[in-house]
Each structure stands twice: as structure tokens, then as C-alpha cells.
Amino acid sequence: MSKKILVVEDNPDNRVLIIDILESLNYEVKVAIDGEEGVALANSMKPDLILMDLSLPRMDGWTAAGQIKEIPALRHIPIIALTAHAMIGDRERALEAGCDDYITKPIDLRALTLKLQQYLG
């Protein structure tokens, strides 16, 4: 059975790219376009991993990651921040918010693949 990944990304171009990469690696992919939808979908689908953009409409990724980690049934799900925020302190801020790891955009396919293997086996 393929692993389920929730992608929370508001940018259509980034969404298409990430979905294409994940589906080519045989992952089952669901998409949310803002933080509120991301929290709701995480709760209903119980994914194996979440890729979370941090700059999102309605609810940002920092808040969404924190809310997901507050739900006992979801706390174990790894959240990898996908973000253009690459300034000093941004990685730490993402980890403090509840993300388990951090990948900067533009996405490095090799780095993403290694993170997926690390968290999903």
C-alpha cells in the first residue's frame, strides 16, 4: 500500500511540481490550498507525512503545523516545511512551530527524496 502525503501549498505551479514528483515516486497525494484546509484534511485522512508551505492564506503554515501537533491522533505525523523563507532563524522558527524538518524552495529533488526516505522508509 502506498504512503499518503498531504501537500499544503497555495501556489498552483509549486503544487503541480510537488504532486508530479510525489506521484512519480508512487505516493498517494492529497492537496490543501491553505492552512485551515490543511488541518482539516490532516485530521480526516491521517497522512503518513505532511509537506507544509509556511506562507499560506487564511492560516499560515506555522499556525497550521502547531494546530496539527496539538491533536493527539496526529502528533506523530512528520511535517516538513517547504518554504522560500531561508533567512537566519527561519528553520528554527519552523521547528518551534511544530515542523519536524525543513526544505527550502526552489525544491531540490535529491533533498526532497532523501527526506521522504528518512521519514517514510
Question: For the chain, how long is the longest CA-to-CA vector?
Answer: 39
Name the pLDDT band for 90 (thresholds 50, 70, 90): confident
* Tens of pLDDT, residues 78-88: 999 998 867 78
DSSP string over 40-107? HHHHHH--SEEEEESS-SSS-HHHHHHHHHHSTTTTTS-EEEEES--STTHHHHHHHHT-SEEEESSP
Q: pLDDT value at position 84?
A: 83
pTM, 2 dp: 0.95
Its CATH architecture, for the domain 4-120, is 3-Layer(aba) Sandwich (3.40)
Strand order from edge to edge, sheet including 28-32: 28-32, 4-8, 49-53, 79-83, 101-104
79 touches 100 (CB < 8 A): yes
- pLDDT, residue 80, reads 97
- Which of residues 121 and 68 earns the better pLDDT score? 68
For 13-71, how does the pLDDT look when each residue is reduced to its tens digit (9 = 90+)?
Answer: 999 999 999 999 999 999 999 999 999 999 999 999 999 999 999 999 999 999 999 99
- Parse the chain into domains and list their residue ranges: 4-120
Per-residue pLDDT, 105: 86
First and final CA of the chain: distance in angstroms? 13
